[in-house]
Amino acid sequence: MKKILIIAIFLVMISNISAISKQKASQKPPFGKKPQMGWNSWNKFACAVNETVMKQTIDTFVALKLSSFGYEYINVDDCWAAMERDDNGNIMSDPKTFPSGMKALADYAHSKGLKFGLYSDSGLKTCQRRPGSLGYEQLDARSYASWGIDYLKYDNCWNQNLPVRPRYEAMAKALQEAGNKIFFSLCEWGTDSPAIWGPKIANSWRSTGDIADNWNQMLLNILINDAGADLAGPGGWNDPDMLEVGNGGMQFEEYKTHFSMWCIAKAPLIIGCDLTKMSTETMTILTNKEAIAINQDALGEQGKIVVRTPTYILFKGKIVGGWAVVAVNWVGSGNANVVLDFQGLFGVDSVKIRDLWAHKDLGTFNNVFTVSVGPHMCVFYKITQA
């Protein structure tokens, strides 16, 4: 009898999703004119997150004045929810780790002038086996809205091999009906070309699998992310996953390169380290106002790879008043001699170059500029016509 009931519930879920997918695509939340900036619990804390960690992070976020650099969201990832729903099917906070509940935590973040985000999943369960939203989209969206949630990261685990797009459209529709006040961040790992359909329903979409705190995986993610560059822009952004800066798996210069590539690629800048233990070096990277300005540039054009050589790659993006470039030595030994051909790259003969890490103008140059870049290091320049 129990097995029959489970099958019946599952068939209802499929029916609901199918019906929603046949409706006109919902109007996505009116956010994301610029890539989102904030903090997320997963990369550092994973399932060790709790109410104390979140409140300490909120307090530290404020003490560090991260809002003054553009960061605004505080997001709790997986493991916030109880293992089961209540008798009415409502999603609940884990009573052991979040005894005050999500509304109280959202209220606390709001009292500090911040926005608060949650995590859920488009499958039966989250990746850590908490209740997913498959079949409960409307109920969960109403709960999130009533709690004052500002941001939803929506994952892809336990998806029963159901089609990807209808599952995400179902939640997009539910969020719209709940008030359309929640930033919608898809996390379907780039498996079903989300850059093509994501802009219609969401504010950002994961273009890759999970990042890891090492050079190779970080680099792989940004290379994959480059494929959808022409499809992103104000209102919807490619997301190569959250920042690993400060988590200890890479060197200082590698983290600078990581941050630089995320900035020029107009990727979401979601900090993933422990703010309460952040080093001066990490703070220096994450609060580089000139680098962040490229990420948040009003034109909203994703910088993309325009040169690949055996020793370096070059990203270029148009910005208001000029261009930005990031040249990355992507090999582990030896310097790369980077050549900027002004006519080929910018269509002009003479340019002014500003170094966004040195925070100084390098001067005016004609025709070509060359620079030597060390292993896993980068240069980040703002270019304007002279």
366: its two tokens: 């004609």
All residues at 6 or more sequence positions from 87 whose CB lies less than 8 Å from its CB, including other chains: none
Query: Could you say which of 155, 226, 239, 274 is catalytic?
Result: 155
Nearest to 273 by CA among 286, 258, 292: 286
Q: Is the dihedral of CA 69, 70, 72, 76 positive or negative?
A: negative
How far apart CA 101 and CA 142 sit, in angstroms, is 15
Contacts within 8 Å (CB) and 24+ apart, 2-9: 9/135
192 is catalytic: no
Bridge partners (DSSP) of residue 99 are none
- Cα angle 282-286-291, degrees, rounded to a multiple of 5: 135
Pairing of β 115-121 and β 151-155: parallel
- Cα angle 360-248-375, degrees, rounded to a multiple of 5: 55
Query: Could you say which of 59, 192, 210, 355 is catalytic?
Result: 210
How far apart CA 219 and CA 211 sit, in angstroms, is 9
How far apart CA 119 and CA 362 sit, in angstroms, is 44
213 is catalytic: no
How far apart CA 122 and CA 155 sit, in angstroms, is 6
How far apart CA 187 and CA 133 sit, in angstroms, is 14
379: its two tokens: 């240069």
Please list the active-site residues.
155, 210
